[in-house]
Structure 1
Amino acid sequence: MSESLIVSGLSIDRGGREVVHAVDLRAEPGAITALLGPNGAGKSSLVLALAGVLKPRDGSVSIGDEDLTGRKPTAIRAAGLATVPEGHRVLKDMTVIDNLRTASFLVPRAERAAAVDRVHALFEELQPLGGRLAGSLSGGQQQMLAIGQALVAQPRFLVIDEMSLGLAPIVVRRLVPALRRIADAGVGVILIEQFTQLALDLAVDAYAMAQGRVVLNAPAAELRKAPDRLEQAYRLA
């Protein structure tokens, strides 16, 4: 039986105040789950907690029966949960290929080359750029590399925070097929996205946050047909 990523009752404090309140969220293997909400809704704090950068005050994060709550970032990634923070962060003073090789340190040595090859198969334009410094890439190419860094760890679940941030729509469209292929390969994806329609077009299920709380959970297909439900949920939060 497939193991789900389950966030249960997660609360997070930052700067002496609670910014995420008892969030429940579930993501399934091989499916894209959208996480929507206005700026300041607590989405990025939730991502940092999933990555192990922030320690939650209450609640739990698990994959199947394996509890990941409070583990260090390396241990969380080794357990199969990888995150791509917003801002397509890469090691700009290192080459593209060295970015990928560095990110593969958790993979058994004999499997590292194959893990990098899978990233090149997904993002074909990165391969001929392997010798270039990552900081010289375009914004879209840096986002591909950031996603690739997460994928070389061979995660069961991938969390992508604001994939399209700062990118032109034509560049974002180049990333969409890759997300579908990642999910088709069995990886569960949580997509935090400012472009609501893009996220709903990709997702099977959707959550919306406002003021640190989940205010709506519904099939993405339903919200595509009734986008006013999102606005109403935000107003009532």
Structure 2
Amino acid sequence: MGAEAEAEERPHGAAVVADGFGLKGPRGWAFREVSFRAEPGALVAIEGPSGSGRTCLLLALTGRMKAKEGTAEVGGLPLPRKMAAVRRISALGHVPGVSELDPAFTVAEHLGERALLQRRFDGSVRTFLRRPSERRAAARARIDEAVAASGLDLAALPKGDRTSVRDLERLEALRLSIALALMGRPRLLAVDDADLKLSDTDRAEAWALLRSVAGSGTTVLAVCSEAPEDALRITTLATDAAEAAEAAADGGDAGTPAGADAADDAPADDSGAPAAAPSADTASAAGRTEDATDRATEDTTEEGTADALAETGRA
């Protein structure tokens, strides 16, 4: 029984499927027309410029924000109908304004607090019937497992596990946030700003960490400014309303989403051959409207992203 229970607790990735997925705020679409399929244990990189709805997409796919159109499934659970169930099988690493480290806490305090919360909210009745010494040993084992999976070297920190979060380097803080998320042994891990303010060396280490997590069986969603080549790339685009109006005035088809018929419309290079179309694994989340007037009010904008976050109290 013990081996079976341990096997059940091991992380196993959740497949993620989206079809025409979109989320709208009072002033516009945070993202729209997102379609992709990711297998369990995949590394999915959500890339795009700031304000293009990357964080909103991340939160919507983990059941933290309610989409307005299209469909999505995480581990076979439909969104937005099963948002609570999706939250139970997913975990957030670093997401500014939603899941952040307390700079006044030490590393040990963060880990200890998460272990207590994990036991309080996710523990079975049998767990509470264990002896205190057994519960402490189980909590310690879970902490050690998560720290090892995140690659966080406690001994290398300035004051060991008593180092305050404010004294951590950016990569170390990222590792800690991932360790805290992995303590719940989620099927889906979501991380925002995975490569923000990292040197080239640290960025490579961050992606190596996320690949390792995905390789262990947990599906990973990571927001970034530039996706690595081996990840499933989902691109969100912030489109300016004025450009949409100009395109419509020139006879452009305002009802065609960005990226559609790219091979036909791509400009020719010096040899006369059309430029390469976007790769098949890149999904576009640019806004689509019926005409230039609608485009000006329903555009995928930074304001739309901010409003969508504000609606959930996470601005």
TM superposition score normalised by structure 1: 0.76
Cα deviation per residue 1:147-200 (whole Å; 9 max; x = unaligned)?
Answer: 11211111111122221101222222332332222111111112222133xx22
2:93 to 78, 84, 109: 84
| Secondary structure, aligned partner of 1:192 | strand
Paired letter, 1:125: D
Q: Note if contact 2:51-2:238 (Cα within 8 Å) is conserved in structure 1.
A: yes
Paired letter, 2:17: I
Q: Which residue of 1 aligns with 2:205?
A: 174
Calculate percent identity across the aligned residue pairs.
23
Q: Does 1:5 align with 2:33?
A: no
1:69 to 70, 80, 84: 80
Q: List alignment gaps of at least 5 residues for structure 1.
A: 217-226
TM superposition score normalised by structure 2: 0.59
User: Structure 1 CA distance, aligned partners of 2:194 and 2:46?
Assistant: 12
User: Structure 1 CA distance, aligned partners of 2:14 and 2:208?
Assistant: 24
| Secondary structure, aligned partner of 2:91 | strand
Q: Offset of 1:144 from its aligned partner?
A: 1.0
Paired letter, 1:99: H
Q: Which residue of 1 aligns with 2:143?
A: 116
Change (3 A) 1:39 1:215: farther
207-216 vs 34-43, greater mean Cα deviation: 207-216
User: Structure 2 CA distance, aligned partners of 1:181 and 1:2?
Assistant: 13
User: Structure 1 CA distance, aligned partners of 2:37 and 2:193?
Assistant: 19
Q: Offset of 1:140 from its aligned partner?
A: 1.4
Q: Offset of 1:138 from its aligned partner?
A: 1.4
Q: Note if contact 2:17-2:37 (Cα within 8 Å) is conserved in structure 1.
A: yes
| Secondary structure, aligned partner of 1:211 | coil
| Secondary structure, aligned partner of 1:153 | coil
Q: Which residue of 2 aligns with 1:125?
A: 153
1:137 to 147, 163, 168: 168
User: Structure 2 CA distance, aligned partners of 1:61 and 1:97?
Assistant: 37
Change (3 A) 1:18 1:195: closer
User: Structure 1 CA distance, aligned partners of 2:200 and 2:25?
Assistant: 33
Change (3 A) 1:14 1:84: farther
Q: Note if contact 1:208-1:230 (Cα within 8 Å) is conserved in structure 2.
A: no
Q: Note if contact 1:139-1:167 (Cα within 8 Å) is conserved in structure 2.
A: yes
| Secondary structure, aligned partner of 1:172 | helix
CA RMSD in angstroms, aligned pairs only: 3.4
Change (3 A) 1:118 1:62: same
User: Structure 1 CA distance, aligned partners of 2:14 and 2:204?
Assistant: 30
Which structure features the higher share of strand residues?
1
1:211 to 232, 235, 238: 238
